[in-house]
Amino acid sequence: MEQNGIKVAVVGATGAVGNLMIKVLEERAFPVGSLKLLASARSVGKTLPFRGVELPVEELVEDSFEDVQLALFSAGGSTSRKFAPVAARAGTVVIDNSNAWRMEPDVPLVVPEVNPEAALTHSGIIANPNCSTIQMVVALKPLYDAAGIRRIVVTTFQAVSGTGKRAIEELQNQVADIVNGREPSRQIYPRQIAFNCFPHIGPFLENGFSEEEMKMVNETRKIFGDSRIRVCATTVRVPVIYGHSESINIETEKPLSPEEARRLLENAPGVKVMDDPANGCYPVPLDAAGIDETLVGRIRIDPSVENGLAMWVVADNIRKGAATNAVQIAEILLKNRRF
């Protein structure tokens, strides 16, 4: 721990994203003065490593945030709705990974490569966007700045880790059952996920879209600060453990060639271009697993619309899509002396 560092708490520390938040704080050498690990009562007694020391997990209660400057939340919407305001009233800056606060007008929704300045407008709570939205806007930001974007059509292929540890276990167990001739069981997903995929992430709404799809629509407009962008999303769950993939088609305001788009992306923060399909170079989830960059390939003309481009975008959904993005927001606050 650093003597004059930031007093940090991780809420939901024992979950997949919370656990990774702890690791990312260490990897990025965030100046942690003290670290409090918070979770539900059933996790009390567990320990988690940080910088070579085993730290105890404490129960999340209303007075958990005394003397805490920064709280990274990854504990579900209902927990965030209850405890994030408590933390904010105690003077803690909350960076929340749930969907509880994303569309609140006075809560900034931040992707550091896209709208870092928004983080400085907070009133105690900052929202981390949906994982599938994050990687899409990281890839589209340089193109939006250069040529404007009128319309986005996106289909996602989302890994099971986006649902949590139990979903990973369900996929692994189903694969083992099928390979060994047993009938696979399911508790987490509405359909078998092993050797399958289904366009069902979150509840379906009255307009026929799923909740996940509408998150991408609404969050994209809020992050870009542009309500004119038309977005149509289809979100699909696939039998991959880590790494969301997205097929994205955009219609730009001004003409933009694939060559220019490729050059812009090669110079964009947080982006790595892998775009030589003739030689087998294009991103896949295994390329993205465990890294923070958003990978972009298959950049080409979309001939179905004027000023159309198509691309393939892949990122680790629990790193850039959750834990890393949250820590990057904290780094913006640190740089601007907001603790």
**Which residues belong to the active site?**
131, 244
Task: Identify which of 242, 260, 338 has the alpha carbon closest to the alpha carbon of residue 17.
Answer: 242
Residues 216, 233 contacting (CB under 8 angstroms): yes
Pairing of the two strands 125-127 and 93-96: parallel
In 159-217, DSSP assigns E strands to: none
Residues 28, 319 contacting (CB under 8 angstroms): no
CA angle centred on 285, ends 282 and 289, rounded to 5°: 120
Task: Identify which of 23, 247, 72, 248 has the alpha carbon closest to the alpha carbon of residue 151.
Answer: 248
Sheet-wide strand order for 294-301: 230-237, 149-158, 244-252, 308-315, 294-301, 271-273
In whole angstroms, how far apart are CA 115 and each of 128, 134, 148, 210?
A: 12, 11, 16, 26
